[in-house]
Amino acid sequence: MSHGLDDVEAADPTVLATGPVGSAERVVDAINHIVVIVSSIALVIASFVLTYSVVVRYFLKISTDWQDETSVFLIIGAVFMSAAAVQARRGHVGIEAITVLLSRRANRVRLFLVDLISLMFCTYFAWKSWVLLHEAWVDNHHSGSTWAPPLWIPYSLMTVGMVLLSVQILLQLAVALERRKSVP
């Protein structure tokens, strides 16, 4: 299993490409940077919300209804929204046993195909998330709890997160193609 930062998987991800691909990379990098900060804050807020829940229920004897669901939305949002940033550092782990058996060139082709499969899946998932979000918005879906918050909130975070992830993988494919052109 690899933790995704070895040289066959990615040329140094901090070195950005040039031209239009490079510009797109810089934009996505900047978005990822902001998303990671907001997601980190969301995780900390979720911790405080759950702590607050314990305090008000046991010390102030106030019943709790919104805390669990708010934490779920915050954490789900943080997870989906930061998926692209994790992918940018090749942080989604995979089995890399085969890399040692293949040549460098074969590994480049393999990685390209791996990214292509990942892109197809993530794009499909992003599209289906959008359909789900649209339905939830149009039909005004709410969660089944007593608090009943609207479901477009978590669905929109899931959709945006998956779109960002798909764009990130698409960029990685574009960079791989650019590099192929520049390698004699």
Binding residues for another protein (CB under 8 A) = 1, 4, 36, 39-40, 43-44, 46-51, 53-54, 58, 68, 71-72, 75-76, 78-79, 82-83, 85-86, 89, 91-99, 110-111, 113-114, 117-118, 120-122, 124-125, 128-129, 131-132, 154-155, 158
Output 82 or 175, the one with its CB closest to another protein: 82
Least CB distance to another protein at residue 179 (A): 18
Least CB distance to another protein at residue 68 (A): 5
Output 79 or 173, the one with its CB closest to another protein: 79
CA quadruple 157, 161, 167, 172: dihedral, nearest 10? 170
Give the burial class of 50: count Cβ atoms within 10 A of its Cβ; 0-12 exposed, 13-18 middle, 19 or more buried: middle
Give the burial class of 112: count Cβ atoms within 10 A of its Cβ; 0-12 exposed, 13-18 middle, 19 or more buried: middle
Least CB distance to another protein at residue 19 (A): 27
Tokens for 70, please give them: 């708010």
CA 108 – CA 172 distance, rounded (Å) = 12
23-36: b or e for each residue (b if 16 or more CB lie within 10 Å)? ebbeebbebbeebb
Output 17 or 156, the one with its CB closest to another protein: 156
Output 133 or 175, the one with its CB closest to another protein: 133
Least CB distance to another protein at residue 168 (A): 12
**DSSP three-state, residue 174:** helix
